[in-house]
Each structure stands twice: as structure tokens, then as C-alpha cells.
Amino acid sequence: MQKKVLKVNPVDNVAVALVDLTEGETVTLGNLTYDIVKNTKAKHKFVTEDLAIGDAIIMYGVLVGKANLPIQKGEVITTENVKHQSAKVEGKTEITPWTVPDIEKWKDKTFNGYHREDGQVGTSNVWLFFPLVFCENRNIEILKEVFEKELLFEKVTKHQLLLRSLVNNSETETAIEDEKDSRIFKNIDVKFITHQGGCGGIRQDAEALGRLLAGYVKNPNVAGATVLSLGCQNLQVDLFKEALEKISPDNKKPIIVYEQQKSGTIDEMLNGIIKDSYEAIKQANEIQRLPAPLSKLVLGLECGGSDGFSGISANPVLGQLSDLMAGIGGSTILSEFPELCGVEQELVNRCVNEKDAERFLTLMQDFEKSVVAAGSGFDMNPSPGNIKDGLITDAMKSAGAAKKGGSSPIQDVLDFTEYIEKPGLNLLCTPGNDVECTTALVGSGSNMVLFTTGLGTPTGNPVVPVVKISSNTSLSERMPDIIDFNTGDIITGEKTIDEKAEELLEFIIEVASGEVKTKAAILNQNDFIPWRRGVSL
């Protein structure tokens, strides 16, 4: 029989409704019973004691809000009776102990990946086209159409057939052939990026974009790149090359650069790009998958469209997986700094050295100051969808989001566009925006992104597999076309967090080896949005 309520941490004074609860219903939690004061939807929380105005709301063992009104024992908490509140951070106050999980089962496991000359291993093999400035987006789109039609032989989609039937006033649609791998080159993917940056904003944003794109070229999933420049933009070719030189001084990957203002007509330039890129893609197709240890995996940890179950199912599963990876010698990257607000003290205490602890706090404080200067604040982070599904304060959302990072020591703290150097858990300063965050994780070296969601988020990345992990079974059944892995059986009590983490790692090995295609890849979701910290000039 499924439990109706759950207390995440023994010191919490709120409990989570695992199913819809009705007014007047009595529920049991351990040896205690609670009379539900008002109808409480699944994923929402009710208080386990009477609270006066100003009293602390504790969940996950940390301060997540304070009572804005008197709240009766058994009453649901809402944005009306609770407001955001987070604990003050005092700097590193203690060394957090950590017990390495049992990795005996995993230490000799491998995945089949693409080995690069710098020692990294890719989970995909991608030739990447991108512009240094938005002025070249049109040329990228032309190249995309040419290469996809001629190298992929794209078939008519079912949506095109539907429109065709409407245009022809026909009640039936022509059947689509069984899906086959129609690529001429079976061992390489060709992907295209466009963006709105490179000029017109502050120089710092152009420089950051150059570093981000350099990170994409260095990413182990990329075999090489074709780069388009106009010539007069802020993000000059030399700036991009300097950024790449800094993170990859011995770069051996082929990079084809064309500058339009030096290349004559558009036709002349495109002809040259097509010929040069085709030869390079043909060579990259020769690279074969070979076994690699799991320590070569770099997993980006991300959440989007979170719900009230995310912090007790999907995110803790990622946390346990992150701890397993740390024990194996692999790497994980936890991002979304606005969603770490309220758990800074725990993260500071987990930093291996004082310098990283100080840097984390400085990045958090500088980020929040910029948000306040824009007339907002981290307390405005929960979206309407988050609130509707039980995440009513930023600190509550953050405490659940931080569970993705498990409990292992934090080995390094990175700012946006910095590339990962140390195995184990890393923190990366990014916004909470799903696509901006995923974009940044890949630019910092993730060769796969694990993306938890409770509401459903249709997004992917052009370079790495994005694995969508549902916090609840209802979502996985309602949106099976975007969900790869379900953790809802934790909520129903059928599985434990440890069991699901091991299942997920097995699934990750299959994806990393190219044996399973993610739903985002099947849907051809290739989102890329760089974070712009500045303003347009």
C-alpha cells in the first residue's frame, strides 16, 4: 500500500503529500497522526505543528521560508501564508565527512566512446557548424539545409503528410516508411548552431561567447568544426582562437574558418565551405567507438520544469549517481546558481579547499546583486508551474534542486565558460534557465546531460545526449515522447533511490555507447542559448 505522506528530514516541520489529501482526513506519519485542515494536492506540503507569524519553515533540514500568517497544524502551506527565507552563510564552518559508496560493481565497467587525442572520450561523434556572429546565421541555415538533405536524405515527416492531406482535401495520409539510418556517413553526426550574439552587446559578452564556442570545440563529443565569421564583429576570429588555445593548447581537431568579408560572393564562400567541410566530415567518419572506463564520463546535472516530487525522487537519484561517479573517478557538474540559494552553507562546507568556498560565495553574491539591480531577486525564481506543483519558495526549490549534487566533496568551482579540469563534483555558475544552463554545461565539458523534470521540458543539445528523467510516473506516461527514464516508482514505494541510481547508470552506459538514442535526439531537439550577462549597446 502506498504511503500518503512523507517527511524528508527528521527535523522538518512540514510533510509532503504523496497523494491528494482531503479536508478532515487523518493521515499517519510514523507514530503521529495529522488531521488535514484543507484539501492538499499531491506534491504540496502541510505543517506538522502550529506556527505563528515569523516562525521558520524547515524542509530538507534547512530553512526554506517563514510563516507570513498563523498556520494551523495539518494546514497546507501556500504563497499566501509562507514567504521565502534562507539561512545566512558564515563561510566554511566545518569539514563535511563523506563515505564513498560501494563501487565494486562499477569499477571495471566500460562504455564504447570516441577517444580524442587529448585523452577525453566522447559519447557522440559530431561535426559542428557555427557562426561567430548572428550575421552569419542565414548562411548556417543554408548549409544546414544542404547537408541535411544530401547527407541524411531526410524523409517527409508525418506532420508534412498531414498538411499535404489537408491541402489535397484527402482523408488519408500516405504511410511513412519504417525508420532507417539514412545517413551516408554512419559514424558522424552533422549539427548546426545559430545564436544572436557576437556583436552589438558589451565586449565582455562577445568574449564569453568566444570562450563558450571554444568549449564546444574542445568538448569530447566534437570531432571538428566549421566556423563562419563576417569579419567586422566584436567576436573576432582571433578572439575565438585565443580562447581555444587557452583551454586546448595542443588542439589537433580540424577547424575550418571562413570570413565572408574576405571570401568574395556568398556563392563562392559557400562552395568552398561545402567542399572543405565534406572532406573533413568524411575523415571524421573514420573514427570508431572503443571501450573506455566510466571515469571518462562527465555528466552535467540539470533540472527544469520541476515539481514537488523532484527533490524527493529524480534529484536524489542524480545525487546518488553523482556520488557513485565520484567514487569511480568520473566527473559531474552541478549548475543553476539561483537554485542553490538557501543551501550555500552545506555546499561551502563540502568544498575541498577554502579558496573554492570563497569563490562560490563570491559568484553567488555577485550574481544575486546583478539580479537585484535589474529589479528582481532569487526569491522570484520559482515559476508559476513550480508553484502550482508545490515549490512555493526559492529556498524550497533550491534545497530540492541541490540534491542532484549528492553528498561528495566539491572538487572545483567554475565560472560560466570555464572548462572542467578536476574529476569528482564541480559547481558551475549558470542561470536557472533550462537551455542556457544546458548550453553552459556542454561548453564546460559535459559529454552527457542528465535533466530531471516533474512537469515535462522538451529540450536537447546539438552536441551531447540529454537524458530526460521524470520525477513521477504520471508524467512519463503522459509524455513518453520526451521522457527517457522514470523515477516515479520511488514515490509509490516500489523502488529505492539507490536501486534507481544503479538502473540509471546502466541506462547511461547504453546511451554513452550509442546503443540507445535519447528522446531529445529522436525529436531532433538541438537548443543552444548562450547566457548574456550584459546589455545591448
Residues 143 and 259 in one domain: yes
Residues 160 and 18 in one domain: no
Residues 331 and 393 in one domain: yes
State yes or no: pLDDT of 106 exceeds 90: yes
Q: What is the per-residue pLDDT across 431-446, written as a single tens digit (0 to 9) for each?
A: 999 999 999 999 999 9
Q: E strand or H helix at 139, and its extent?
A: helix 137-152
Residues 195 and 61 in one domain: no
Residues 274 and 305 in one domain: no
Q: What is the per-residue pLDDT across 374-415, written as a single tens digit (0 to 9) for each?
A: 787 776 667 788 888 778 888 888 889 999 999 999 999 999
Residues 346 and 488 in one domain: yes
How big is the chain, counted in residues? 537
Q: What gap in Å lies between CA 399 and CA 340, rounded to an integer? A: 7
Residue 74 within any structural domain of the chain: yes
The DSSP annotation for 289-337 comes to: -EEEEGGG-EEEEEE-S--TTTTTTHHHHHHHHHHHHHHHT-EEEE--G
Residues 148 and 212 in one domain: yes
Query: What value does the mean pLDDT take over residues 348-376?
Result: 90
Q: What is the per-residue pLDDT across 483-515, written as a single tens digit (0 to 9) for each?
A: 999 999 999 999 999 999 999 999 999 999 999
Of 83, 113, 148, the last residue of a domain is 83
Least confident of 147-156, 238-247, 362-371: 147-156
Q: What gap in Å lies between CA 455 and CA 437, rounded to an integer? A: 18
Q: What gap in Å lies between CA 306 and CA 310, rounded to an integer? A: 6
The amino acid sitting at 92 is K
Q: For residue 276, what are the β-bridge partners?
A: none
The amino acid sitting at 69 is L
Mean pLDDT of the chain: 92
DSSP code of residue 132 = S
> For residue 175, what pLDDT band results from cuts at 50, 70 and 90?
low
Per-residue CA distances from 387 to 80, 240, 392 (Å): 11, 41, 5
Give CA angle at 387 (382, 393), nearest 5°: 55
Q: What is the per-residue pLDDT across 259-303, written as a single tens digit (0 to 9) for each?
A: 999 999 999 999 999 999 999 999 999 999 999 999 999 999 999
Query: What value does the mean pLDDT take over residues 356-366?
Result: 94
pLDDT at 17: 92
Query: Rounded to the nearest 10 degrees, what angle do helices 266-284 and 137-152 cross at?
Result: 50
Residues 409 and 331 in one domain: yes
8 A C-beta contact, residue 302 and residue 449: yes
Residue 400 within any structural domain of the chain: yes
Q: What is the per-residue pLDDT across 28-83, written as a single tens digit (0 to 9) for each?
A: 998 899 999 999 999 999 999 999 999 999 999 899 999 999 999 999 999 999 99
Residue 533 within any structural domain of the chain: no
Of 83, 117, 148, the last residue of a domain is 83
Structural domain of residue 424, as residue ranges?
Answer: 300-458+466-515
Helix (H, G, I), strand (E, B) or coil at 473: helix
Residues 242 and 267 in one domain: yes
Residues 281 and 315 in one domain: no
Give me the CATH number covering residue 46: 2.30.130.110
State yes or no: pLDDT of 130 exceeds 70: yes
> For residue 91, what pLDDT band results from cuts at 50, 70 and 90?
confident
Residue 459, all three cell numbers: 529540450
DSSP code of residue 176 = P
Query: Rounded to the nearest 10 degrees, what angle do helices 237-247 and 203-218 cross at?
Result: 50
Starting at the edge strand that comes first in sequence, how are the strands of the sheet with 298-303 ordered? Answer: 410-414, 424-428, 331-334, 298-303, 448-453, 466-470, 485-486
pTM score? 0.92
pLDDT at 537: 47
Residue 193 within any structural domain of the chain: yes
Burial per residue of 93-106, b for 16 or more beta-carbon CB atoms within 10 angstroms, e otherwise = eeebeeeebebeeb
Per-residue CA distances from 328 to 57, 291, 419 (Å): 37, 16, 21
Residue 362 within any structural domain of the chain: yes
Residue 497 within any structural domain of the chain: yes
Helix (H, G, I), strand (E, B) or coil at 457: coil
Q: What gap in Å lies between CA 45 and CA 59, rounded to an integer? A: 10
**Structure-model confidence comparison of residues 175 and 161, the more confident one:** 161
Residues 275 and 304 in one domain: no
Residue 271 within any structural domain of the chain: yes
The DSSP annotation for 180-241 comes to: ----SSTT-EEEE---S-SSSB-HHHHHHHHHHHHHHHHSTTEEEEEEEE-SSSSS-HHHHH
Query: Rounded to the nearest 10 degrees, what angle do helices 314-328 and 497-512 cross at?
Result: 70
pLDDT at 380: 64
Q: What gap in Å lies between CA 55 and CA 53, rounded to an integer? A: 6
- The domain total for the chain is 3
Residue given cell 559529454 in the structure block:
447
Half-sphere exposure of 458 (CA within 13 A, CB side): 8
The amino acid sitting at 22 is T
User: Among candidates 316, 321, 325, 317, which has minimal Cα distance to 297?
Assistant: 325
> For residue 166, what pLDDT band results from cuts at 50, 70 and 90?
confident
pLDDT at 533: 83
Give me the CATH number covering residue 277: 3.40.50
Q: What is the per-residue pLDDT across 2-26, written as a single tens digit (0 to 9) for each?
A: 789 999 999 999 999 999 999 999 9
Residues 280 and 305 in one domain: no
Q: What gap in Å lies between CA 141 and CA 136, rounded to an integer? A: 9
Residue 330 within any structural domain of the chain: yes
